[in-house]
Structure 1
Amino acid sequence: MKTRWWTIAIILGLVVVNYIDRSAISFAASHLRDEFGITTAQYGIISSAFSIGYMLFALLSGPLVDRFGSRRVLITGMFIWAAATALTPFAGGFIGLILLRILLGAGEAPCFPAATRIASRWLPAHERGKALAMIGGVAVSGSLLIGGPILTQLIALTSWKGMFWVLAIAGLVWVAVAFPFLKNSPSEASFVSEEEQRYIRSGQTDGEDSGHESKVDWGEILRNRNLWLVGLGYFSWGFMFWAFMYWLPQYLEHEFGLSIKAVGGFSVAPWAAGVVGALAGGILVDRVYKRTESIRSRFVIIGVALLLAGASIAPIVFFPGNLTIALICISAGVGFGFVTGGIWWVASIDAAPSQPGTAAGFADACFALSGIIAPTVMGFIVGRTGTYNGGFLVMTILCLVGAVAMLFFTKEPEREPAAVVPGAPKGEFTTAK
């Protein structure tokens, strides 16, 4: 394995631990209600609390990653979120759970801004689509795919409290692996060959070989029209994603009377579809870009995927109470949604190649905002109506809004002519500055 892909593999492991940790509470929801007297509405608020910490620190962690480098910020974040996970059984009640979920969100927030920066520093541009699809799509959906069976079995073997402690230990194991091997850029890694370093630099723009930046230019971020539209689209997909991550086990358990073990099995299908969608999206975005060299082609792919995701969810409203139809529709919606999984991060790099962590943090904060809103809205709808149909309708509408934004309001960025990099492999170019 080339060194650059070993680095990506370490980040993939981080994402798996990240998403299994954040979704664990959905499988312990019934136990939390019994232990702490949590109501359905309060559970929705507790789920949203994670994204409060996540959104605030996604905005902060992007500049921190660009300033201090991914390695230091990620390892510090892992210690924070491992502590929050381990302390969850000792929360004591509603307020304690809210505070620990905010802390967990703060610890996990640097993950994707740091991963985006590492991809831009360790990979040439033409390899980033599939890598970021693996990081932002396959690893996310894959962790939720395996997370259901793993978490339900951990609860059965160790109790719901033991499940949280095992997850905290898994985070510390990741630190032990990452500490000696994870570097901010190839230039900081003595174990990278000169040949591989030349290959990586041949596909980078000026400034993308640095491990960290001296300052952050927020003006470049906030003036970028495409980045704002990416934020809107990411919010639209995020509502569906967060709603299913926190409410799918509850939906299957209460709507169809499934046991917790059966919920773990049936929850596999949507996230398996997400893995397929993420793989397809990663391959598609790289191939289309290689053929067209159009950055806007990425937004078109996102728009079509959001349109299909929203259309897939709509039939559930008209055929309530049918488990087969529900699983097919949810799986299709999640699968099409995850086609966009890695493209958000590619688009962030394109928006601000000199400070990809900050750009990714901005996009991630928009995604986190939907994570604040979606669980609470779903809890309110279910609590008031006794049905999930209103939530499915909101998902469909938001996906349509995001699709329109991506398809009709994005534009091709102005770029400098490409120039051949001395010593680059034949056919490889970079953007002139």
Structure 2
Amino acid sequence: MSSSRSNVRWLTLGLIVALIVINYIDRSAISYAVDPLTKAFGISKSQYGLISSAFSIGYMVFAFLAGPLVDRYGARRILLVGVAIWSVVTAVTPVSGSFIGLFMARVILGAGEGPGFPAATRTVSRWLPQKERGIALAMVGGVAVAGSLLIGGPLVTQLIDTLGWRGMFWVLAALGALWFAIAWALLKNTPDEHRKVSAAERAHIAAGQLEEERSSSGSVHWRPVLTNRNLWVIAVGYFAWGFMFWGFMYWLPEYLSSQYDLSIGAVGLFTVAPWAAGVAGALLGGVLTDQVFARTGNPRTRLTIMGVALLLSGAALIPIIVAPSLTVSVTFISIGVGLGFVTGGIWWVAAIDAMPAQPGVAAGFADAAFALSGIVAPSVMGFIVSSTGSFSSGFVVMTALAVVGAGSMLVLPRHRPRLEVSAPGGKAGLAVGQR
């Protein structure tokens, strides 16, 4: 039977990874066009900080709302609507014309991109067995995110040099439209809906799932979500990592440019190192969490891995505060980002662990905390830079939050007994922890 097993689940995962790459290039592109955009629209640095935060307002609201919609209507429909919205908004961003216009465009862009991770998490929970989810969600939440920023810097800066900053946005909008067309033809909610999935692949997937994970859709129950201690722990930790992530995503190009007098081309090259480290960290985190889970069957180990990684990530920024230089900054920002991205895909695995019957809602809850940090971090960094002319205090805040987030994940999670997952037909399947 194994010789006839199809691998459509990996094609589906590839579509989701491509979606996240386009998603993050689109949302981060504005950080490479700060100078021409602020001059064209007459925007100050502090207003740019508010514009950066505007994205996360829409993102936070719709990440949270998208979870129930994804669990009820399936990931495919919600993703297609979201991609259509964000591609149109990306195209109109260069002609938004003013601070207010750009602020509203970024809010709507965030709304369009908000459903991405809740839908991706549900897709993975319906398309892959437990033992394959760590590396799969590391690809989605870690490699795709860091990889998009790794290639995004050189790509976006070259597009700006070649086509101008407005042309850059229009090319990115076209990429979103291309993904929409491909996903319309190939993306399905579950293996049962895809005619290319063999019976052997369906059995392989089902053997590693909880019974409630095999459903296509269902109603939303809020009380178990809002009273789930582990989900709140995940949210606190994700906010802490998010502050560091969003701070660097929106302000790293400006930090390198203003502090070390680098050209736009040099900035694009120097930003490669942190996101390359992020790709490596995400892969390490995915492999590590799958291996540890395979040995222990205990979902709490995932939170332990994230807590240690986040603590080390915050500690890595201390040399930048104490003795900053271009070499020290690029080196230790890269180490900090790489360690932070060890957690990159595990947030979503942990969200499924915490609420397996409602993975979209659980992912939306966690993602809303991440988005909240995206509102706070750019504005706080903008205020710090405007008022002090330095980024050092921002790095101190990043380190302090990392300690708080790590402590919550290492100390507060609730442990519950394991249970057995049975494969179809009553055969013993994978042992997992009761959440």
User: Any conservation in 2 of the 1:420–1:430 contact (CA below 8 Å)?
Assistant: no
The aligned counterpart of 1:174 is 179
Which of 403, 422, 429 is the aligned partner of 1:400?
403
- By how many angstroms is 1:45 displaced? 0.3
Q: Give the RMSD, CA atoms, in angstroms.
A: 1.5
Residue in 2 aligned with 1:271? 275
Aligned amino acid, residue 95 of structure 1: I
Q: Which amino acid aligns with 1:72?
A: R
- Aligned sequence identity (%): 59
Alignment pair present for 1:307 and 2:311: yes
1:138-177 to 2 correspondences below 5 Å: 138-177=143-182
Inter-partner Cα distance in structure 2 for 1:203 and 1:313? 40
**Match for 2:374: what amino acid?**
G
Paired letter, 1:347: A
Q: What amino acid maps onto 1:116 in structure 2?
A: T
Give ranges in structure 2 of 5+ residues lacking alignment: 1-5
1:326 is aligned to 329
* Alpha-carbon offset, residue 425 of structure 1: 8.3
Q: How far apart are the structure 2 equivalents of 1:419 and 1:364?
A: 27
* Within-5 A mapping of 1:5-404: 5-213=10-218, 215-320=219-324, 322-404=325-407
Shift of residue 427, structure 1, vs aligned partner: 6.1
3-state DSSP of counterpart to 1:200: helix
Which residue identity does 1:349 align to in structure 2?
A: I
Change (3 A) 1:62 1:313: same
What count of residue pairs does the alignment treat as equivalent? 430
Tell me the CA shift for residue 294 of structure 1: 1.1
Structure 2: how far apart are the matches of 1:425 and 1:288? 24
Does the CA contact (< 8 Å) of 1:419 and 1:432 recur in 2? no
CA distance in 2, matches of 1:431, 1:311: 31
Q: CA deviation at 1:420?
A: 3.7
Structure 1: gaps (5+ residues): none
Query: Contact (CA 8 Å) 1:187, 1:209: kept in 2 or not?
Result: no
- Partners of 1:379 and 1:431 lie apart in 2 by 43
Q: Distance in 1 between the 2:433 and 2:327 partners?
A: 50
Cα drift, residue 414 of structure 1:
4.0
Distance across 2 between alignment mates of 1:110 and 1:316 = 35
- 3-state SS in 2 of match to 1:413: coil
Task: Report if the CA contact (8 A) 2:279-2:338 is conserved.
Answer: yes
Q: Give the superposition deviation at 1:33.
A: 1.3
Distance in 1 of aligned mates of 2:421 and 2:242: 38
Deviation at 1:47, TM superposition (A): 0.2
Q: TM-score, normalised by structure 2?
A: 0.97
TM-score (norm 1): 0.97
User: What secondary structure, in the 3-state scheme, does the structure 2 residue paired with 1:247 have?
Assistant: helix
